[in-house]
Amino acid sequence: MYTLLIVDDEQLERQALHFIVTQKCPAIKVIGETGDGKSAVQIAAAQRPDIVLMDIRMPEMNGLEAAKRIRALSPDTVIIMLTAFDEFSYAKQALTIGVVEYLLKPVRPDDIMHTLELTIQKVDELKRKKQEEASLRKSVEDAIPFIQMSFVYDLISGNIKEMEHFQERSRFLGMKVDPGVVLVIDVDNFKQLTSSDSELEKQMIKQKIYKLICSVAGDYALVTPFGSDNLIVLLGFAEVESEERIKSNAQKIAVDIQECIAQAMNISITIGIGRYYSDPREIHKSYLEALHAQQQRFYLGDSQIIHVEDVPYLTTGPFNYPFHYERNVLDKVRCGDRKQAKEALHELLDGIFASKANMDTIKACVLELLIVLSRSAVEGGANVEQLTLLNLNCINHLNECNNKTQVEAWMFASLDHFMDNMLENRSSMNLRVINKACDYIVKNYHKNISLEEVAQTVHLSPFYFSRLFKQEKGFNFVDFLTKVRIEKAKKMLQNPDFTAVRIAAEVGYQDASYFSRVFRQTMGMTPNQYRNEIRNTKQE
């Protein structure tokens, strides 16, 4: 049985709808009727109907607002809108708030029946999906025993000091042998791979990976998720062999795990392996080693199996930042030279990566570099507010970088964003400056103005102003001034009372002969010839 709420400010309309539903739809039960949006929200909140059949135009609160509030209170309620107004704006707004159908009054009984049948299918689909999600969620929760996670956490944190305490908890979990080696497993680029998935889908992927690792690691291993995308494997060995043999066995298990996940899910993983410790109370040392080894993916790339004894990039010395390369990058950014800025940035990043520092230190360095670069871009003309937003987006992307190549690509992409903003902002600023200069010329063309005078009004050097004017307008300062003066002279030549000498003075030329030469060069005729041509044209 499906429940229905009818909302319409016309009583006869409500009664008609009630009658049609009662007679034609035995599977639907009308649980309420009301004539205004406010009451509809209250009833929907209390009754949680499957379907709401509602008019748009109602007193106090209209149907659209009521539908919006009902959807907020009861997201699973399906809403059908009724209206006498065939207006696209209503339909568009209704769709944005989750209305599934939009019917025009007067509605025929057959149309109502058809719409309700489709709506019932929608309700069934929503209920089925909700049940499936609940079942999946329970499956995920059951697959991650809290007791096991707590035990592993205490082990790798070094919190278990007494052997008796360890044995008691390991027996409770049914462990057959004591763990001696830790594997830290990380899914390569998990956030990017699952960016479009729901949280439930992400957890199901992790659950499948977990089960595959358990099946490969065998009965002598304890597997548990740890952190955001990491899994930890505690390996035990039935027979104590040489450390070299144990290392070989641990690497073989790691290879088997990596190949199994790649074949079953087409997902790559990186595995760090720690040393073997015979005393399980020292297993936290193996964990730290495995974690350090796994983090070397930053330099070595994805899909790696790294034993701590084979790590080439574990350095403990001081980190020396290449400041001399940084200054060169900043200079090139301020000048707007993208090509040389990228070349300088490449040298700087090579210097940073050459330090062989760990991933966190590298990220801290490039994050500070991002801030310094943004300041240089602002000094070069970038918009500080827009750059602040760019920085926020860039920082979010940096968190997703897992290796040297990704960090390098992120840094160059950030530089491109800064340069684009700087050059775009410069371009708009340049245009405003030149337009201001043109306005000044138009207002003062009759005076003996010079390039130096106009450049001073826009606070630029004459040399830079001249180059910028040509760049923005396509012609030089003198050409523009001449054009303005000749256009004014052409208008004045239409008045026979104005002599050529007077016109020359009015448009900024003190020498009438020079004015005539300029006019002839521009128009192809003398001022008098131009005046005669105008007179002849009018007579015709």
Which residue is listed with tokens 């005669």?
532
pLDDT below 70 — which residues of the chain? Answer: 85-98, 100, 137, 139-145, 312-319, 389-391, 426-427, 539-540
Q: Are residues 174 and 211 in the same domain?
A: yes
**Does one domain contain both 406 and 474?**
no
Same domain, yes or no, for 70 and 195? no
Look-up: residue for tokens 């004017």? 469
CATH code, 505: 1.10.10.60
Measured between alpha carbons, how far apart are the two ends of the chain, in Å? 91
Rounded (5°) CA angle 254-260-266? 120
Instruction: Classify residue 77: in a domain, yes or no.
Output: yes
Are 106 and 168 contained in the same domain? Answer: no
On whether the pTM is more than 0.75, the answer is no
Instruction: State residue 305's pLDDT score.
Output: 93
Q: What local confidence, expressed as pLDDT, does residue 144 receive?
A: 47
**Within a domain: residue 204?**
yes
Two tokens, residue 165: 């305490």
Residues 181/224, Cβ–Cβ less than 8 Å: no
Gap between the Cα atoms of 166 and 159, Å rounded: 10
pLDDT tens per residue across span 274-327: 999 999 999 999 999 999 888 888 888 888 999 998 876 545 556 678 888 888
pLDDT value for 317: 57
Q: Give, as one character, the DSSP assignment of residue 280.
A: G
| Residue 135 domain flag | no
Q: Are strands 269-273 and 179-187 parallel, antiparallel or unpaired?
A: antiparallel
How many domains is the chain partitioned into structurally? 4
Residue 53, beta-bridge partner list: 6, 80
Classify residue 480 as exposed, middle or buried by CB count within 10 Å of its CB (0-12, 13-18, 19+): buried
**Are 258 and 330 members of one domain?**
no
Q: Is 108 helix (H, G, I), strand (E, B) or coil?
A: coil
> Are 207 and 225 within 8 A, CB to CB?
no
* Burial letters 288-302, b for 16+ CB under 10 A, else e: ebbbbbbbbbbbebb
**Tokens read off for 116:** 């309700």
Domain assignment of residue 318, yes or no: no
The residue out of 310, 343, 362 marking a domain boundary is 310
Nearby residues of 248 by Cβ (< 8 Å), 6 or more positions away: none
Q: Which residue has the tokens 């940073």?
A: 352
Task: Kindly state whether residues 162 and 291 are assigned to the same domain.
Answer: yes
> What domain range includes position 434?
429-538
Q: For residue range 16-63, what is the model confidence (pLDDT) as tens digits?
A: 889 988 888 888 999 999 988 899 999 999 999 999 998 888 888 888
Domain shared by 163 and 305, yes or no: yes
Residue where a domain stops, chosen among 403, 424, 445: 424
- Mark residue 336 as left, alpha or beta (left: phi above 0; alpha: psi -120 to 50; beta: remaining): left
178 shares a domain with 110: no
Which of these, 242, 13, 182, lies nearest to 112 by C-alpha position? 13
Could you tell me the two tokens for 156?
């790798």
CB 122 within 8 A of CB 51: no
Task: Annotate 283-317 with three-state secondary structure.
Answer: HHHHHHHHHHHHHCHHHHCCCCEEEHHHCCCCCCC
